[in-house]
Amino acid sequence: MTRSSGAMGRRALLIGGAAVVAGGAGAAWVGTRNMGSMGEYDASVAQLRSVLSAQPALTDLVRYATLAPNGHNTQPWRFRFSEGKIDILPDIARRTPVVDPDDHHLFVSLGGAAENLALAGAARGRPGEVIFTPGGLGGIAFAYGEAPPASSALFDAIPVRQSTRADYDGRSVSVVDLNALATAAQIPGVDVLLVTDRSKIDQVRDLVIQGNTKQLEDAAFVRELKSWIRFNPLQAMSSGDGLFSVASGNPPLPTWLGSTMFDATFKPKAENDKYASQLNTSAGIAVFVGEREDRDHWTRVGRSSQRFALQATALGLKCSYINQPVEVAGLRPELASLIGMAGRRPDLIMRFGYGPTLPYSARRPASLVSA
């Protein structure tokens, strides 16, 4: 797939170059056709994020589950139906072994999907229990029954939550709302630390920059990240996955040109400046720490962080992940000490604040991820 995309990029570059010699208008047409439009993309995403019907099919509950955040938007999950139960299993083919060598993020992603599934089930008369299943690679079972529907603000927030990778406006969050965030994120086996002191946020920012620099100096990390970037609406709609570059504030580009521009501009200084600005304008940081370093607790961290993100959305807040200090193992001890959790492994870091709404990320249809 990557090799094929590269070949297409080289061909387009040659055609584009020839058109430039013949005339600039021709070059623009050759370079930008077949990218799809943002109108088409928005309509496609809106359909996947439409509100659940009063009596949804199980596949519609799965659709809501897939709206959970997940590393590189790889959507590393499979859903399996049986009587009174939906299993969420890891899709190992969608691992990201460079950034996530122990599948930590993968199991966090499964936990987020399970929390969405539980909230959607309760809201539509199928409440249930989320249970980690240790057999094989591990997974999650959602065993449900029947009861009167019990909607919630967290459920209502599922289709509009997003990871907003942009500058926020710097406003602080009230104590009442901070307490609501902390309360919503309570899951047994997970500690959540909220950091709003500016000097400590600056220290976390410095760790993010250290981690980001180390990652971008690793050619394998950059290759893996690039393989999941979608540079235009058509590419994002066709794959239904990956990181849509427009959702990070970039203009849509032909795939060949996006790939070329990525290689030319994706450098540590520019990315570090972006992260510094994003953290400087954030109201606070949430750090999620599981009691133990195992897949069970990683799924719990995923549930806790998703509840936090949904509560933030319900309060009109935006959030996004800044996980470099937990992905670069050498930085974890310093982060743990900074938040008063020395000796523990921090699992996730999320910044939050008041900010804009950006284009939503794509998802694969429930029919492709369930059986």
Average of per-residue pLDDT across 2-21: 30
Residue 322, token pair as written in the block:
């800044």
Q: Taking all residues of the chain, what is their mean pLDDT, rounded to a whole number?
A: 92
168 contacts: CB under 8 Å, gap ≥ 6: 278, 281, 282, 283, 318, 351, 353, 354, 355
Give the model's pLDDT for residue 176: 98
- Per-residue pLDDT band at 248 (split at 50, 70, 90): confident
Using a pLDDT cut of 70, give the percent of the chain over it: 91
The pLDDT of residue 196 is above 50: yes
* Cα 211 from Cα 329, distance rounded (Å): 9
Residue 295, token pair as written in the block:
């897949």
pLDDT in tens, 292-335: 999 999 999 999 999 999 999 999 999 999 999 999 999 999 99
Cα dihedral 217/101/370/116 (nearest 10): -80
The DSSP bridge partners found for residue 287 are 193, 349
The pTM for the full model equals 0.91
Burial grade of 251 (CB within 10 A; 0-12, 13-18, 19 or more): exposed
- Label residues 52-70 b or e (16+ Cβ within 10 Å = b): beeebebebbbbbbbbbbb
Average of per-residue pLDDT across 14-33: 38
pLDDT in tens, 131-152: 999 999 999 999 999 999 999 9
The pLDDT of residue 263 is above 90: yes
Average of per-residue pLDDT across 227-252: 96
The pLDDT of residue 3 is above 90: no
